[in-house]
Structure 1
Amino acid sequence: MKKLIHIIVQKGWPGLLLAFFIAMGTASCKDNEGNDGIPVIKYLRVTDPTLADSTFTDVNPGTMITVIGENLGGVTEVYINNQKISFNSTYSTPTSLIITVPYDEDFKLSGPNPELPSELRVVTNHGIAVYPLHVLSPGPGITRIAATYPLKPGSQATLIGTNFYEIQRIYFTTDSINVTQEITDYQISNDFKNLTFTVSDKMTTNGWIIMDCYTDDACIEYTPEGPKPIITGISSIMPVVGSEVTITGQNFIDVSNINLNGEIDIPGENVTVSESFDELTFIMPQAPSHSGHISITSMGGTAEMEDLFYPIENMIVDYDEIGSFSSWGTEPPFIADGANPPYISTGNCIGAKGTIDSSNQWWWKQFLNTAKWASADIIPTSTPISELELQFECYLELPMDGPVIQISMGHPNGKDTGGNPYFTLENYVPINSFTEKSETGKWMQCCIPLTKLVEEKTWGEFLNNKISDELNFYINYPGLTKATNVEIYVDNIRIIPIKQEED
C-alpha cells in the first residue's frame, strides 16, 4: 500500500492506473495459487479427515492416500516406484491430491526390485514434486532349513521360504530375545525364496534364526542335530492295502521308521523321501486291526499325526463285515485279483463296469448299501452336519467324462415316505481329496460334505428323521451325447469329522 501511495504522489493518475493493473495481476496470481509456484509435497495421510494427523511414508498396495502440499494444481502425471499410475483429476486441488496405490500384479514393488526408487513423484504443468513413499512388499515366511545334518561350524545351511525382501538383519539367538550371532555373510536366490549361510562356532546349540525384513519378521527353530519332523497331511486315512500312501510335512530327514497305529512298522529303507524332505511315500502293507495314529521317526525325533488313522469305528460300509450290499444291476462284492482293475483291494470292494448308451442313460447300475450308522459315542448326536463328511476310497479305470453319480442317504431311491424326491447329491464325479483332481488308475480318497447329502442340522436329527439305513450310489449319464464306457470301484465308506483348518 505504501508503494502504491508513492506511485500516486510521484506520477499522478496515469501511474495509479498502472499500479492498479499490477495489483490486479498480483491478485490473479494469488487466485491461481498452486499453478505457478514450485510444487511441494509436505506429507501423506489417509483420506479420513478425522485421522489427518496420521502421517506416514510406508503404505500397503491398494491403499487410498491423500497427498498434502503446496502448488499441486495442474497435475499431469503421477509416478510411484518410477511407474506411472492413473489418478482422477477431480480429486486434485492446489493443496491436495487423492490417489490409490496400485495392487495389481503388474505393479512392481521395490522389495523384489531394489533398483526402483521408493518414492512418489507428482508432475504438474509447472514443476515436479518428489516425496519418499515405500510401498510394502509381502512379509517373509520361513518354512524349513535345508542342510546335511548334523550341522557343525562351517556347514552350509539354506533357509527355505518366501518373500526374503529388504532384509534388515538376520541373527541366531538361543533365547529368542538376545542376539547370539549375527549372520552377515549370506546369499539370496534370484526368486527371494532361498537364503544360504555358513554355520558359525556359536551355532552349536538349539535356538532360533530370526529374519528382520523391512515389512515384517520371520523365525524358525534351529536344531543342529536335526529338526523334529512335522506331519501336515496324508493322501488317505484309510488307504487300500497295497496302494501308495503319501504324507506331507517337514523335516523328514533320515526317516528310520513309520509306525501305523502301534501295530505295524515300516522300516526307513521302505520309505521314499522327497529331496526337500517335505513329502514321503510308502506302500500300505496291511490294514490295522484298530484305529490309532501314525508316527514318523527321523533324525530329529518322532512326530505323531493328530487325526485318527484307520478309524474303523466310523466305517458304515466296507463290503466285508460292516454294513451290507444288495446286488441290483451290479456284480456282488469281490476281492481284486491283481490282474484286472482295480488290481488291489482291502478285502472286498464293489465295482461297476460296462457301457452307458441311450437305452440306459437314466438308469444304469447302482451300489445299494445298507449302512451301519455311527453311534452317539462315536459321533455325538449334537454334532452339526456341517462338521461331518462322507469319505470313501474310489478307483476309476476310465475318466468319468459325461457319466455321473447320484447319491442318496437314509432314504431309499432318494424318496421320502410319500414318494416325493428327497435331498440327493446329483451329478457327482469322484475327486481325489488330496490332489483335488479326478484321477484314474489309482485308489483315491474322496470326501463329500454331509451338508450336500442331508438337510438335517445335527447328526442326531438325521438319525431320527431317516426312514432307512440305505446309502445308495446311482450311476447314469443325463444328456447322453455318445455311448461311453464306465469302470468304477468303491470301498471303505465312512463318516468322518471334517478336519478344521488352523488359523
Structure 2
Amino acid sequence: MKKFTIFSINRLSSLLLLLVAGVLFSCQEDDPTTPAEAKAAPVIEAIRSMDPNKADSTFTQSTLGSTIVIKGQNLENTRSITFNGYSASFNTAYASKNYLMVRIPEQTPTVATAATVSNKLVVSNSKGDATFDFTVLPPVPEIQAMSNEYVKAGEPLTLYGKYFYFVKEVTFPGGVSGTNFSTLPDGLSLTVTVPTGFDPTKGDVIVTSESGKSLANARTKLYSVGMVSNFDDKNPFGWGIPASNITNSAPGINPLEGKFALVNMSLPGAYGWSNDKVINLADFGGGQIFPTDPASNYNPEDPIANFEARMEVAVANTALEGIQLQVMTQEATDKEITANIDLKDFVRSTDGRWYTVAVPLADLVNGSTKLAKYGDLLKGNKAGVKNYRAVIINTNSADVPATIAIDNMRIVNITK
C-alpha cells in the first residue's frame, strides 16, 4: 500500500525555506517579471517534500496551505500552476529546469467546498501543460461539539464540526476505537458507536483522517466529573422543582439514566414567568453544591473563564425558534447573574434525543457584576446559599407548548 505523507508550511521556519530553496533550485534573477520563452512543454515526474530529510519521499496528496516541490522537466519557464483549477502564486526565482516550489492556496477547492473537484495539478508554460493526479485535502477534522457527553458503550455519539472527510478512525479516551462511523457529505458531522472499554478520565475523542488528527479542545471530553445534580443520587433540590418536575418518563423522551428534570407546559410568551419552567438547585442549609473535587480541577483561584455550566437537554415536539435556556446563580451581594443561550444552537432535533448544552460561567452577568474566579461561585450569596438555576425562556410573543427535559447539571473545568 502506498504511504502518504502530509506536510504543512507551518512546520518550517523561514531559515529552512531559504536553505532548501538554495539546495534545490538553480540561481535565477532576483525578480523576473515574465518567464522566458520555453523550449518544451513541462513534465511532472513527482511531488516531494520541502524537508531535506524527506526529499526522497514522494506523495500524491497534501493539505491546504502546504508547500510542495514539483520535480520534473522544463519547469524553469513556468507561467502558471493550478490546483483543481485554482491558480497558485509562485516565485519564478525558485523555478529551475527540474524543480518548482509552490504553496497550495487555502482557497483551493476541495471536497470541503465543492461537490466535485478534478484532483489535478496543472503546470503550464508557453509550449503546453503538464497534468498530474494530485489530491488537495481539506484541513484536519475539527470537533466543535458532541451530541451527548454522557454516553455509554454501544450508544451512538454524533460529533459536530468541520472537515470530517476521508476519516480513518475515531479514538475514544483510553485509546479504544469507535465502530460503525459514518459522515455526512458536507463533512459537518460524524456519527460513531461508542466502544466498550473507553475511560472518560483518560483523554479526548479524536478523529483521524487522511489530513491528520483533530485537536483536543473544551468540546472533546466525555462526561466524568463536576456533577451538581443527576436527579438520582445527587439531588440538592431547591425552590423551583416541585415533585412533578422530577420524573423518569415524559412524552417522547427516554431517560439517560434514572430520573431527570422536566419542563412540560405552555411556556408564557414575551419572557413571561412561571415557576414551572424553573429548575433550581440549592441547599438552603448552606451546604456546598458546587464541585470541589478533584482539587486540581476546581481550584478556587482559577479564573472563571476556565469553567462552564453544562447539562444534557432533550426536547420533544417543541418549536425551538425563540426558546432560550438561561443559567443563573447568585453572587456575594445577592445579585442574580445570568447568561442565555438559544437552545437550537445545541439541540439539533426535537425527537427526544439528548444533547449537551454548555454555557460559559464568564458570561454570567448583571450590569457590571460578574464572577472573577471559581472561588466566587463557591461563596454563594450573602447567606452562603449556592444557587444553580436553569430556566426555559420563551422570547416569542405567543405562548409555546413545550416538553423539555434536563439532566446532569454540572460544572466543568474546560482546561482539564
So what's the TM-score if we normalise by structure 1?
0.46
1:381 is paired with a residue whose SS is coil
Does structure 2 retain, via aligned residues, the 8 Å contact 1:432–1:439? no
1:66 counterpart residue number:
none
Residues 1:361 and 1:237: Cα distance change in structure 2 (over 3 Å): closer
2:236 counterpart residue number:
324
Letter of the 2:308 partner, please give it: E
1:313 is paired with a residue whose SS is coil
1:457 is the counterpart of 2:339: no
**1:157-176 to 2 correspondence within 5 Å?**
167-169=88-90
1:468 is the counterpart of 2:385: yes
Does structure 2 retain, via aligned residues, the 8 Å contact 1:431–1:438? yes
Residues 1:258 and 1:357: Cα distance change in structure 2 (over 3 Å): closer
Letter of the 1:362 partner, please give it: W
Distance 2:255 2:217 in 1: 28
Distance 1:279 1:402 in 2: 24
1:259 is the counterpart of 2:178: no
Give 1 or 2 for the bigger CA radius of gyration: 1
Residue 264 of structure 1 and its aligned partner are, at CA, apart by 5.3
Residues 1:289 and 1:265: Cα distance change in structure 2 (over 3 Å): same
2:319 counterpart residue number:
399
The CA RMSD over aligned residues, in Å, is: 5.0
Deviations 1:194-223 (A, max 9, x none): 8745479xxxxxxxxx9xxxxxxxxxxx99
1:245 is paired with a residue whose SS is strand
Letter of the 1:408 partner, please give it: M
Distance 2:65 2:257 in 1: 36
**1:227-266 to 2 correspondence within 5 Å?**
230-236=141-147, 238-240=149-151, 242=155, 244-250=157-163, 252-253=165-166, 255=168, 257-262=169-174, 265-266=177-178
2:291 counterpart residue number:
373
1:57 counterpart residue number:
none
**1:91-240 to 2 correspondence within 5 Å?**
143=64, 167-169=88-90, 179=100, 196=118, 198=120, 230-236=141-147, 238-240=149-151
Structure 2 residue runs of 5 or longer lacking an equivalent are 1-62, 67-81, 124-133, 283-288
For these two proteins, the number of residue pairs brought into alignment is 297
Distance 2:363 2:139 in 1: 39
Residue of structure 1 aligned with 2:336, choices 404, 420, 423: 423
- The higher relative CO (CA closer than 8 Å, separation ≥ 6) is in 2
Deviations 1:44-77 (A, max 9, x none): xxxxxxxxxxxxxxxxxxxxxxxxxxxxxxxxxx
2:37 counterpart residue number:
none
Residue 488 of structure 1 and its aligned partner are, at CA, apart by 1.0
1:486 is paired with a residue whose SS is strand
Distance 2:217 2:146 in 1: 14
Residues 1:264 and 1:404: Cα distance change in structure 2 (over 3 Å): same
Residues 1:352 and 1:159: Cα distance change in structure 2 (over 3 Å): farther
Distance 2:199 2:90 in 1: 53
Distance 1:459 1:361 in 2: 31
Distance 2:234 2:361 in 1: 20
1:408 counterpart residue number:
328
Distance 2:192 2:248 in 1: 22
**1:14-29 to 2 correspondence within 5 Å?**
none
Residue 378 of structure 1 and its aligned partner are, at CA, apart by 0.5
1:492 counterpart residue number:
408
Distance 2:193 2:178 in 1: 9
Residues 1:422 and 1:230: Cα distance change in structure 2 (over 3 Å): same
So what's the TM-score if we normalise by structure 2?
0.54
Residues 1:429 and 1:330: Cα distance change in structure 2 (over 3 Å): farther
Does structure 1 retain, via aligned residues, the 8 Å contact 2:83–2:121? no
Residue of structure 1 aligned with 2:302, choices 380, 383, 386: 383
1:448 counterpart residue number:
359
Residue 350 of structure 1 and its aligned partner are, at CA, apart by 1.7
Does structure 2 retain, via aligned residues, the 8 Å contact 1:293–1:305? yes
Residues 1:389 and 1:432: Cα distance change in structure 2 (over 3 Å): same
Residue 458 of structure 1 and its aligned partner are, at CA, apart by 1.0
Structure 1 residue runs of 5 or longer lacking an equivalent are 1-141, 146-157, 201-209, 211-221
Distance 1:336 1:283 in 2: 25
Distance 2:89 2:314 in 1: 52
